[in-house]
Amino acid sequence: MPVVNGNDGCMTRKSWELPFLAEPAEVAGLRRVMRLHLRLWGLPDVVEAAELCVSELVANVIRHVGEGTPSTLEVGMNGTHLRVALRDPDASALPTLVHADSGDESGRGMALLDAVSDRWGVILGASSKLVWCDLATSLVTPGGHIGGPRIAKGEACLTLYAGTGGEPAGVAVLEEAAIDLITDLLHWLSVHGRDVDEALDRAQTRFEVAGG
């Protein structure tokens, strides 16, 4: 479940795991759980890609390790990326990537995963492996919220204006930065002989037209 911090409004997206048996009948349920979690996390833009990754990761285990293999779906954030990973007990059956025009179907699933993710890889353990993929989101900060390109641009601007050195800042900090920025812009308009009230009215009109 997501947690919104009361003081700064940042969302904490806590990593979660789900053990299951790698069987075709389990895929629909895993996709449904993934979909519900991502909606709670406010990440609807990656639902389709994440569900595809789940399907292909499970299919890879079934094909190369065996149907009914005890596995674990692991999901969390890696910075502003969503990380979808699957752990199974066979450290020797490594996934392979083949070209789409290859006659070998064994690596087609990984080709799909490679196409929808920013990056993917394998972490080997003593008696298991973890195949992971990172999906790009529209988040500007790990604890931020998605609200379209205007929100992303505004949040990026305010993060710089807040003087945090590019580090993530809470909503309360960014709100103060927004007020400071608006004040400075009003001073700039006034110094250059522009009508401050007219500028505010025009900005308000554009905000309302955009559905603010």
Q: What is the pLDDT along the chain (212 residues), one digit of tens a residue?
A: 444 444 445 678 999 999 999 999 999 999 999 999 998 888 988 999 999 999 999 999 999 999 999 999 999 999 999 999 999 999 988 887 665 554 554 446 688 899 999 999 999 999 999 999 999 998 878 877 776 667 767 777 887 888 876 566 677 788 888 999 999 999 999 999 999 999 999 999 988 887 65
What is the gyration radius of the CA atoms in the chain, in angstroms?
A: 23
The domain locations on the chain are 2-136, 149-209
Give the H/E segment covering residue 132: strand 129-136
Q: Write down the pTM of the prediction.
A: 0.67
Contact 174, 7 (CB under 8 A): no
Identify the pLDDT of residue 140: 79
8 Å CB contact between 65 and 45: no
What number does CATH give the domain 2-136?
Answer: 3.30.565.10
Integer CA distances (angstroms), 86 to 18, 26, 28, 65, 181, in order: 10, 14, 16, 13, 45
Q: What is the pLDDT of residue 9?
A: 52
